[in-house]
Amino acid sequence: MQIAFYSTKSYDKQYFDACNKEQNIIYIETQLNEQTVALAEGCDAICAFVNDVLNKKVIAELARLNIKLIAMRCAGYNNVDLEEARKNGITVVRVPAYSPYAVAEHALALIMTLNRKTHKAYNRVREGNFSLEKLTGFDLYGKTVGVIGTGKIGQIFCDIMQGLGCRVLAFDIIANKELVAKGVEYLPLVDLLPQCDIISLHCPLSEQTRHIINEETLGMMKLGSMLINTSRGALIDTKAAIEALKTGQLGYLGIDVYEQEEKLFFTDWSEAVIQDDVIMRLMSFPNVLITAHQAFFTEEALEQIAEVTLSNIKAFETGKELANKVI
- In degrees, rounded to 5, the angle at the alpha carbon of residue 112 between the alpha carbons of residues 106 and 118 is 110
What's the maximum distance between 2 C-alpha atoms anywhere in the chain?
Answer: 64
279 contacts 233 by C-beta, under 8 angstroms:
no
User: For the chain, what's the residue count?
Assistant: 327
**SS3 letters across 217-244:** HHHHCCCCEEEEECCCHHHECHHHHHHH
- Residue 46 CB neighbours (<10 A): 27
Helices (H), 117-258: 118-126, 152-163, 177-181, 189-192, 215-220, 238-247
- N- to C-terminal Cα separation, the chain: 20
Catalytic status, residue 127:
no
Active-site residue, selected from the candidate residues 84, 259, 261, 262: 261
CA distance 319 to 324: 14
CA distance 36 to 56: 14
141 contacts 165 by C-beta, under 8 angstroms:
yes
Catalytic status, residue 64:
no
- Residue 266 CB neighbours (<10 A): 15
Handedness of CA 120, 124, 125, 126 (dihedral sign): positive
CA distance 248 to 87: 48
Active-site residue, selected from the candidate residues 73, 84, 94, 232: 232
Active site residues: 232, 261
